[in-house]
Amino acid sequence: MDELQRFTRYGEKKAGTNNKFYEVEAQENEDGRATWIFRWGRIGTTGQSKEGETYSFSGAKSICLEQFRIKTEKGYREVNAMEALASAVEEVHERKTNGLSAVEIVIPCFHAGKSEKRCQEFCQKWLDKLNIVRGSRWDLDANAYEKQIEGVLKGYTKEWRRIRTSKTHGPNLGFSADAAARIFFDALKRDTAICTFVYFEGSYR
């Protein structure tokens, strides 16, 4: 059986007090019909969602494209999954100050290409690990938390270097992916005071 089709677009709006995301997704169902889903809210939260069903994947995709077009006209900018991940990481530490518990961060999917899918899998793997550590950050002493974050950082950078230098995926990942990886690394690094290892020998590639 052929793999079911899926389409996503993700955007963010950052201006003044706005710090919001908007995502549209079309999913093909096994019965040939399709589901469209809109998700929105403050970056770093799960937000709200709305969904409906159409008779075809192309119909659901058209609904998503039109909705996303409307949002971009209202100031939302499309970003890739790495950029979205960096934005979400920046938000979590602020919740403690506001008396809120840690939340699980969810990132959108890449929408085309084998290398983009591999990069998405990489993002999700290390984001899951980060969520586990962040979820317990207020139950750990400072030293234990720093060591766990440093472990996430080391694993993250090692795997990103392997992907970035591979013959299969490296040539297909451009500067924007490198820049977003650097933003994510720097955001993680600010969570620990004892991050002393060398990151890619001075290179983010």
pLDDT of residue 143: 77
* Per-residue model confidence as pLDDT tens digits over 47-100: 899 999 999 999 999 999 999 999 999 999 888 766 776 666 655 555 555 555
User: Is residue 96 domain-shared with residue 182, that is, in the same domain?
Assistant: yes
pLDDT at 145 over 80: no
114-135 and 142-164 helices, crossing angle to 10°: 180
CA–CA separation, 173 and 194 (whole Å): 30
Q: How confident is the model at residue 205 (pLDDT cuts 50, 70, 90)?
A: very low
Whole-model pTM: value is: 0.58
CA–CA separation, 71 and 146 (whole Å): 39
pLDDT of residue 147: 80
Q: Which of 78, 103, 126 is the last residue of a domain?
A: 78
Which residues on adjacent β-strands are paired with residue 158? Answer: none
User: Is residue 70 domain-shared with residue 85, that is, in the same domain?
Assistant: no
Q: Is residue 1 part of a domain?
A: no
pLDDT of residue 68: 95
pLDDT at 102 over 60: no
User: Is residue 134 domain-shared with residue 154, that is, in the same domain?
Assistant: yes
pLDDT of residue 51: 94
Residue bearing the bigger pLDDT, 43 or 1: 43
* DSSP β-ladder status, 6-15 and 18-28: antiparallel
Residue bearing the bigger pLDDT, 148 or 181: 148
Indicate the number of domains in the chain: 2
User: Is residue 10 domain-shared with residue 99, that is, in the same domain?
Assistant: no
Which residues on adjacent β-strands are paired with residue 28? Answer: 34
pLDDT of residue 44: 67
